[in-house]
Amino acid sequence: MRCDEEARDRIATRLAAIAVEAGRLLQTFEKGANAHRIKADGTPSSQADLAAEDLIMRRLGEAWPEVPVIAEETANAVVPGEVFFLVDPLDGTRDFLHGSGEYSVNIALVADDRPVAAAVASPALDRVWIAGATAKAGPLPSVGGEVAWRTIHARAAPEDGLVALVSRRHGDEATDACLAELSIGTLRQASSAVKFCLIAAGEADIYVRCGPTMEWDTAAGDHILTRAGGCVLKAGGGMLTYGHHARGYLNGPFAALGDRALAPRMNLPLAAA
């Protein structure tokens, strides 16, 4: 599988089409029957999650049958290769079940422990973001239509009054402590990987998460933000890496920053590196 810059852009565009298709499928469940259960880790899974994951895995298999897919619901124990996909078919299931509309479809291609192409689709916001070599965003296209892409860039951090994105349902004291050391002007609630994408588009500055997340939650957003000029840092510095099968694809604490100049001001608690 080619992963040079030209190939990455083509792959990202194809991933966007798959994510948008899955997003449209999820919308059909929003007002209809959608049985769900609580998994062993305390998170919900629904018929919508499973249907979207099945669609995504079929589309990825059609396009790249040789590449393994690690997906949250039915393929979360797959062993990665040097190149593999990470898929969250419905990021923000709790919000989806509560009818807030704040959810996304996340698909990332990972090579040598870092994402190299990615797409995030948000049906409720009518937006889709991608990155191969370049980060782009656009409105969801009509069925059979093409996305009107525009290049996006993270913004320089203001001297004061940073805009911080916080999870609607996942606050914790360690995250609050990290943010308390910064000049935060606005706290804005948002769900799912959309937070990375809003920072990538210059609409916010920082997202800190010290509670547990999984690699399929972050890989796509991480790549989009990084290619837009920002970064996602783990505790102790350095970028997040992906493909950690031995720890069940669990992330440690991280900070998503639009401006890399904020990095020295971060004080994340140490955890899995």
Residue ranges, CATH 3.30.540.10, the chain: 5-151
The listed range with the strongest mean pLDDT (17-21, 27-31, 235-239) is 17-21
CB 199 within 8 A of CB 205: yes
Mean confidence (pLDDT) of the chain: 91
Residue ranges, CATH 3.40.190.80, the chain: 162-265
Question: What pLDDT score does 77 carry?
Answer: 93
Closest CA to 249 of 64, 75, 8, 46: 75
- pLDDT grade for 36, boundaries at 50, 70 and 90: confident
DSSP string, 146-175: ----EE--PPPPPSS-EEEEEESS---HHH
Q: What is the Rg, in whole angstroms, of the alpha carbon atoms belonging to the chain?
A: 17
Residue 273 confidence (pLDDT) above 60? no
pLDDT tens digits, 63-114: 999 999 999 999 999 999 999 999 999 998 777 777 767 799 999 999 999 9
Q: Rounded distance, CA 224 to CA 135, Å?
A: 6
CA 166 to chain centre: 14
Looking at 116-125, 149-158, 184-193, 221-230, which range is the least confident one?
184-193
Residue 39 confidence (pLDDT) above 80? no
Task: State the Cα angle at 77 between 72 and 79, rounded to 5°.
Answer: 120
H or E, element range at 163: strand 162-167
| Fold (topology level) of 162-265 | D-Maltodextrin-Binding Protein; domain 2 (3.40.190)
Question: How much is the pTM?
Answer: 0.93
Percent of the chain with pLDDT over 90: 69
Question: What pLDDT score does 169 carry?
Answer: 62
Pick 4 or 8 by higher pLDDT.
8
CATH class given for the domain over 5-151: alpha beta
CB 73 within 8 A of CB 47: no
Closest CA to 196 of 252, 257, 254: 257
Residue 51 confidence (pLDDT) above 70? yes
